[in-house]
Chain A
Amino acid sequence: MSGIDDFRKETRAWLEANCPASMRGAMPDGELVWGGREVEFKSEDQRLWFERMRDKGWFCPDWPTEYGGGGLSPEEHAVLEAEMRRLKCRPPQINLGIWMLGPVILEFGSEEQKRALLTPMARGEMRWCQGFSEPNAGSDLASLKTTARDAGDHFIVDGTKIWTSYGDKSDWMYALVRTDATVQKQKGISLIALDMRSPGVSVAPIDLISGKSSFCQVFFDGVSVPKGQLIGPLNGGWTLAKSLLQHERKAMSKFGEFSLPTHFDLLELLPEYVPAGSRSPADIALRARATACAMDEHAYSLTVQRMGEEARAGMDVSGLMAIMKLVHTEQERDKFEILLDALGHRALGWEGDEFSAGELALTRAWLMSFTQTIAGGASEIQLNVIAKRVLGLPEGK
């Protein structure tokens, strides 16, 4: 017990001394630092914070030190996260590879892969994208068609991936590919890592309704991938993919905690547009909806806390884990609906100085929020998972 208390004290002191003041508090849009070969810093403080955390191994606090991680125990990791929240430290970098692929390589990768892939990831030098979805394989991911043909010491990859977030900015991709088309669809899939600079890879950005372009379609035309970049067993990719998607859902339900740029505080914003004392029926109805929404958010944050406690007490939290992504993303959606109604036309501005920066950001964030209930397994798929895996309801015919 006193060990963990010491760790808390040291960590708090270190963060207080090393996290620059400008790296604390909510993060405005566009201030995220993405780790990778071409990491960009908008300020000296960003660089400092990035380098200090990197040198501690705290991009990956719970990975073993031999692969560049911080080597923290689960308790220490929880303490670090709590202390960072307390000081409102921004994440020093965002790297989807660390959250999703990292744990899978740690569990299933070869020693060589761990050294070759985990170490640069832990140093923030390798930015990853996820090549799962295809034009005809979304929720039904296992029907994917991109092929990897055996060509001796390497594979030849042909096909296309779509909705690849930051496909145009990533250094590497982890992709699900078909390595056997003659068996049941889940049994002929493999997981590979590929360098996006490989000849034959081309990338076309896609515009979103929010005006952003954060995802792409990626084409593979006879791309050569060394066999050493096969992760896990040949045709064993489906199991790894399922584990990876769980890490993705966990990461997505954490976005709120990191207070990424989408965070708008409903009860704080509302009085600006719906005067506190107003008795107009529409305002009264709006306030009631807003309160109910804020209460549900409160219940959700208590559930996050309870899940953590239950996990630490060794209880089964699989049921709670299964609801988190669904609940969080739908609450965000509901919140934007209320904000939209509260701001009226002021939430419908596209650009220009008729609108405040906050209003324009809100509009874009609302449009972006639609992606959350689709990406990483749509809400309907989450409900299927809860019904079948958690509640044990029978499969349909």
Chain B
Amino acid sequence: MSLIYSEEQRMLADTAREFLAAKSPVAAQRRLRDERATNGFDPALWREIVDLGWTGIPFPEAVGGLEFGYKALGAVFEEMGRTLCASPMFSVVVSGALLQLAGTPEQQTAWLPALIAGDKRVALALDEGPRHDPLATTLSARREGSGYRLDGSKVFVVDGIGADAWLLAARTEGQAGDREGVSLFLVSAGTAGLSMSPQSLIDSRNHARLRLDSVLVPASALLGAEGQGFGMLDQALDRGRACLAAEMLGAAEQLFATTLDYLKTRVQFDAPIGSFQALQHRAARCYTDLCLARSAVMAALAAFDDPASDATTCGRLASLAKWKAGETAAHVSNEAVQMHGGIGVTDELDVGLFLKRIRVAQACLGDGDFHCQRYAALTELPA
């Protein structure tokens, strides 16, 4: 398992960096925010991203993918992190992975190629409370006739507004905390009883609350076996977690570079503030954590490309990456604000935009405490 990018992956990253610098600089994200863009992203940019092939990177050729692997995908997420690029890429990855892992052949044919071609968007509706906890799923799914009736609500659904369909985790039996009894459903937009409203978060991206009020779906809406969805779900989430970790790593590295520049140029007491040892040591610690975070992120991405890595190995490495990159990015962004002094808390500076996106990415699919716990659970301890 290699922890560095190959020549091809590096070339992809370089292209992505050039493209994003030209088409999606941080200033563009600021504009999206100020203009309150409906879906939180720029549809024209999204079309170009699809045309570049990024949406197909992790998927097999048979469904229109490029089969280029997760390390390549991570390289793209890292670059998107650097400019805070807003797009539905994340949903393509998790929804696509879940369809690929658990979908029936009909569901796959109906949705995967359209997803990759950017013609359709499918959002994953998972959490029901303020903190990520997929086992706590309680949205109820009762058998009714030949299908199911769904009741409940989902919050902080990434890319939920304007989606063509939602992948839902629901409970067909048991209670919050049980692995057994979690079932997955694919529900199309326009189904009766489904309503949705935006949730405005600090990163100005697309988040939605989804309500299901006696929503009737046919049995063909089920993915995988009834009550057995959790394993597949968690595997798909791990792919999303690794991508978020890569995004946070890119964002944190970029923010750290900006902060270093400031330390070298801002003068107080007739000296650049970066000559003060109190700040030097803190900057050195940020750098150290960034180095460790990069190794963890590379390992998680590489695990998905390695046929010898089982779901536990991938999950453990994804948790390590999400934990390390999340904690590091949060720490680096706090330090960035503090080291900029007064200007650091102004909206004029981009530092705040990085801070805000990093915090949302950190909370998404599990914060540090969540992944610390999960890593412990996945680490086989002698009794």
Q: Mark A302-334, 1 if CB is under 8 A from B, else 0.
A: 110110011001010001100100110000000
**Interface segment out of the listed A139-147, A183-191, A285-293, A343-351:** A285-293
Docked-complex contact A387 and B298, CB < 8 angstroms = no
C-alpha gap A327/B275 in the complex (Å)? 23
State how many angstroms separate the Cβ of A333 from the closest Cβ of chain B: 15
The interface centre, meaning the residue of A302, A305, A323, A394 with most chain B CB atoms within 10 A of its CB, is A302
Count residues of B near A (Cβ-Cβ below 8 Å). Answer: 41
B358 interface residue, CB < 8 Å from A? no
Query: For B271, what are the chain A residues with a Cβ–Cβ distance below 8 Å?
Result: 394, 396-397
State how many angstroms separate the Cβ of A321 from the closest Cβ of chain B: 11
B268 interface residue, CB < 8 Å from A? no
A268 interface residue, CB < 8 Å from B? yes
Which residues of B, 177-222, contact A by the 8 Å Cβ criterion?
A: none
C-alpha gap A263/B376 in the complex (Å)? 20
B357 interface residue, CB < 8 Å from A? no
Query: For A298, what are the chain B residues with a Cβ–Cβ distance below 8 Å?
Result: 296, 320
A357 interface residue, CB < 8 Å from B? no
C-alpha gap A31/B82 in the complex (Å)? 51
Knowing A320-B291, A396-B277, A397-B271, the reply to whether A291 touches B372 (Cβ < 8 A) is: yes
Docked-complex contact B277 and A384, CB < 8 angstroms = yes
State how many angstroms separate the Cβ of A307 from the closest Cβ of chain B: 9
Which residues of B, 237-263, contact A by the 8 Å Cβ criterion?
A: 260, 263
Query: For A287, what are the chain B residues with a Cβ–Cβ distance below 8 Å?
Result: 376
Knowing A302-B295, A306-B4, the reply to whether A396 touches B375 (Cβ < 8 A) is: no
Docked-complex contact B375 and A383, CB < 8 angstroms = no
B2 interface residue, CB < 8 Å from A? yes
Docked-complex contact A391 and B284, CB < 8 angstroms = yes
B92 interface residue, CB < 8 Å from A? no
Which residues of B, 249-293, contact A by the 8 Å Cβ criterion?
A: 260, 263-264, 270-272, 274-277, 279-281, 283-285, 287-288, 291-293
Query: For B285, what are the chain A residues with a Cβ–Cβ distance below 8 Å?
Result: 383
C-alpha gap A299/B299 in the complex (Å)? 9
Docked-complex contact A391 and B283, CB < 8 angstroms = yes
C-alpha gap A323/B295 in the complex (Å)? 13
- Tell me which of A271, A320, A393 contacts B381 (CB under 8 A): A271
Q: Mark A108-151, 1 if CB is under 8 A from B, else 0.
A: 00000000000000000000000000000000000000000000
Query: For B4, what are the chain A residues with a Cβ–Cβ distance below 8 Å?
Result: 306, 309-310, 313, 315
Query: For A271, what are the chain B residues with a Cβ–Cβ distance below 8 Å?
Result: 381-383
Q: Mark A375-397, 1 if CB is under 8 A from B, else 0.
A: 00000101110111011111111
Q: Mark A271-288, 1 if CB is under 8 A from B, else 0.
A: 100001000000000011
Query: For B298, what are the chain A residues with a Cβ–Cβ distance below 8 Å?
Result: 302, 306
A208 interface residue, CB < 8 Å from B? no
CB nearest neighbor in A for B376 = A291
- Tell me which of A295, A323, A386, A392 contacts B375 (CB under 8 A): A295
C-alpha gap A178/B115 in the complex (Å)? 72
C-alpha gap A308/B67 in the complex (Å)? 28
Knowing A323-B287, A391-B287, the reply to whether A305 touches B295 (Cβ < 8 A) is: yes
State how many angstroms separate the Cβ of A287 from the closest Cβ of chain B: 7
C-alpha gap A390/B286 in the complex (Å)? 12
- Tell me which of A288, A305, A313, A388 contacts B369 (CB under 8 A): A288
Query: For A313, what are the chain B residues with a Cβ–Cβ distance below 8 Å?
Result: 4
Query: For B295, what are the chain A residues with a Cβ–Cβ distance below 8 Å?
Result: 299, 302-303, 305-306
B59 interface residue, CB < 8 Å from A? no
A341 interface residue, CB < 8 Å from B? no
Query: For B372, what are the chain A residues with a Cβ–Cβ distance below 8 Å?
Result: 288, 291-292, 295
The interface centre, meaning the residue of B283, B295, B296, B372 with most chain A CB atoms within 10 A of its CB, is B295
Knowing A271-B381, A306-B298, the reply to whether A396 touches B275 (Cβ < 8 A) is: yes
Knowing A296-B292, A393-B264, A394-B275, the reply to whether A387 touches B283 (Cβ < 8 A) is: yes
State how many angstroms separate the Cβ of B54 from the closest Cβ of chain A: 25
B121 interface residue, CB < 8 Å from A? no
Query: For B381, what are the chain A residues with a Cβ–Cβ distance below 8 Å?
Result: 267-268, 270-271, 276
The interface centre, meaning the residue of A267, A299, A303, A394 with most chain B CB atoms within 10 A of its CB, is A299
Docked-complex contact B373 and A291, CB < 8 angstroms = yes
Query: For A380, what are the chain B residues with a Cβ–Cβ distance below 8 Å?
Result: 281
Docked-complex contact B323 and A295, CB < 8 angstroms = yes
A300 interface residue, CB < 8 Å from B? yes
State how many angstroms separate the Cβ of B69 from the closest Cβ of chain A: 17
Query: For A267, what are the chain B residues with a Cβ–Cβ distance below 8 Å?
Result: 379, 381
C-alpha gap A313/B292 in the complex (Å)? 19
C-alpha gap A396/B296 in the complex (Å)? 34
State how many angstroms separate the Cβ of A278 from the closest Cβ of chain B: 13
A294 interface residue, CB < 8 Å from B? yes
C-alpha gap A393/B276 in the complex (Å)? 9
Q: A292-B323, A393-B280 are in contact. List 4 more A-B contacts (CB 8 A).
A: A298-B296, A309-B3, A327-B292, A387-B284
Q: List 22 A-B contacts (CB under 8 A).
A: A270-B381, A276-B381, A291-B376, A294-B379, A296-B324, A299-B292, A302-B295, A302-B296, A306-B295, A309-B3, A323-B291, A380-B281, A383-B284, A384-B281, A386-B287, A386-B288, A387-B280, A391-B284, A392-B260, A393-B274, A393-B279, A394-B264
Instruction: Name A's B-contacting residues (CB within 8 A).
Output: 267-268, 270-271, 276, 287-288, 291-292, 294-296, 298-300, 302-303, 305-306, 309-310, 313, 315, 319-320, 323, 326-327, 380, 382-384, 386-388, 390-397
